[in-house]
Chain A
Amino acid sequence: MILRVAGQRLGDLALVMLGMSFLVFAMIRLVPGDAVAIMLGANTEVTPERMAALRAELGLDQPMLVQYGVWLSNVLTGDLGRSLWTGRPVAAEIAGHVWPTVQLTVVALVLGAGLAVPLGCLMATWRGRWADGLLRIVTVLGLTIPSFWFGILMILTLSILAPEVQALGYVPFSEDPLGNLARLALPALALALPILANLARLVRSAMLDALAQDYIRTARAKGLSERAVVYRHALANALIPFVTSVGIMTGYLLGGAIVVEQVFAIPGLGRLVLGAISERNYPLLQATILVITASFVLINFAVDLLYAAIDPRIRA
């Protein structure tokens, strides 16, 4: 059963990636602006011949569909191409930028999802009281404040309250584990806030739903403690929508990371994508989006498998 589902999902993955690759390929070329013109700059001595020569050298003089075909067949043989600007293999560029993003996303996810469960449960049990109302207002704020703005706000606050703290940029974990975590704290918080708010509200309403069910009354009638009722019986049933949302939120995190990395000067995939778009660095952009798409689809695949673990009805 699991195997069949997995096979089907992998087939979907291939289809999604193929479609996505074509969309990205077409979109970046439909955007006005020309890679060669940008490379040669606005204030330099550039002749049409030089532009044509460079265009031919990069293979950009071919019809678009031909370019796509060449690119696709290279990708299928494992060759992602070379960055137009630096000439380095795209795979190496991505490998050099992937870890900061993975780390940032994972820390933000753990922070967001981890805090959302207790917070949501508390809000549900406090329903109608002032603390619940206050937390609901806070979560609305969390939902509506953009991550990058919150990030800038935190940087400015820190620079006033503790001007000597150096918390910007990125150092690899292998070089300086403490420095690495210290520098990830603020960006991860900025990134986690919206999903924390979103998930906490979700857990709250799912819990309220669950707490109104007959089996809760039964559990209480059995004389179970309130804690056991809430955390063992209600929460277990409220987790299914939560897990689905976590999967979707991971995709959101990858998108949010783009701006947050920009603000905190973290050399991750987001910076790579943003740079590639403004440079019209086609091979780099296409490959990076492909990697991001693949991870998004794979995460959702993992979430589907998680359902089975959580819900016995799906396992059957």
Chain B
Amino acid sequence: MTYRLLKRIRVILSIVVFFLLTFVLVDFTVSLSTEAVKSLLYLQFVPSVIRFTGIVTLGSAGFLVVMILTLLFGRIYCAFLCPLGTLQDIISRMSRYFGKRRKVFRYRRPDRFIRYTVLGGVVILLALGHIILLELADPWSLFGRMVSGLLRPVVYGINNLAVHGLEAAGSYALYPVSMKGYSWLSAGVSAGMLALVGWLSFTRGREYCNTVCPVGTLLGFVSRISLFRIRLDETLCNSCGLCGASCKAGCIDTVSRKIDHSRCVMCLNCLTACKQKGIHLVSVTFHRRRSAPEYSLGRRGIIRNGMALAAGLFTLQGGQKSRGGGRRGERTPVKREHHATPPGSKGFEYFNDRCTACHLCVSACPTHVLQPSLLEYGLAGMMQPFMDYGASFCNFECTVCGEVCPTGAILPMTPEEKKQIQLGTARFIKDNCVVYTDGTACGACSEHCPTKAVQMVPYWGGLTIPKVTPEICVGCGACEFACPTTPKSIYVEGHTVHQQAREPEVEQVTRPDTGDDFPF
């Protein structure tokens, strides 16, 4: 009974965490405070590690908590804190209802080659300054991209349908939300990963967690020596195989009566499956002598890992590449060398080193200017969010991305700080400007500029034309977004390292001299 209760607690916790994390990834109203979002993400392992390397505080030490928990109870991160784990559990569970025979899990030999190649690759690549493998394999980020790329549009669609329905009934209680700038490619990659992870979990439970996931592998090292572990009581076990059939991790070898603790995800299914009461969750100190067989990498494994790594590295070349800013044609096309990185990210290198592309900021960004990149940052930064000024612009007062970013790739900033972070500077292309080509007034760029870095200055015949003061430009992209021409007449050239913008000069205006009376 106790085991049943424990398992139920695990299931409920996992569902609650799963629901909350899914919610923050689709919640376009940002209805939870960013503090709440932050505490929800506190125990997400990879974001916490990265954050810790940047800001060594208790607030970023969630991964240490996970480590301690793992040391005590095994991989409970995988059991109910990891949303991708729960997603796989849900899919495994659904697999029961398909096929003729009731599906059962079975013991699998560990795939050490892939396991250690991925983890080793992640570590070595990180040491070399490439985050991409971690970005691709980290369960939280994978999950984030799946929800942000695949579920979010569905939620938006349902919301927008509901808006229409209510509107027809004369109510404006809900509001529509735009999918402008949505990255099909990033969503496609996520769909592919979902298919892979989904298929793995459909056919063999937590296979992803125990072959690919670098967090699973790393925590597996710790869970081997954890205080509490699952134990087979060899005096009671009759090798009936029930526990093995219930084991999502496929880590119970019921024939030789051995458990691979490095792969046990602490789902506790086996505890309730055993009819002999021959499997228990016990403190290891009382069972020291019956320790599990150790799996070691071996010399051959190390060589194979090294080869895989080299192959991986080879494919990761490529720096920042630019994507053309507009249609080619009669006018001067935008030739942007660098896309801007989000405010608070210090610049390309800092951001590129720390962002695992979980797309939480993409989901939370109120103006939807943050969009997953394709090759805007080069191959190594694929899917990391960039400032997509074709889709939107950065709202001057807003600091949401820095508040929600779990890895610290986008650092928190006060509105005052943010208003002086220069992501890039506006460049004016006179050849494309309406004032020049048509001789009519426009000024949309200057209108939207929050610092008046884009000013309208006298041109001819009462017309005014934009002029950029780069020192006070923050690179928010409002000018670029508002510019009505194709190709754009003004665009933001991103900085590789963010600069400090000068504060705009302010001077108190004086009231027009119209006397005490009405001027008419």
A and B: bona fide binding partners: no
Q: Which residues of A contact B (CB under 8 A)?
A: none
Q: Which residues of B contact A (CB under 8 A)?
A: none
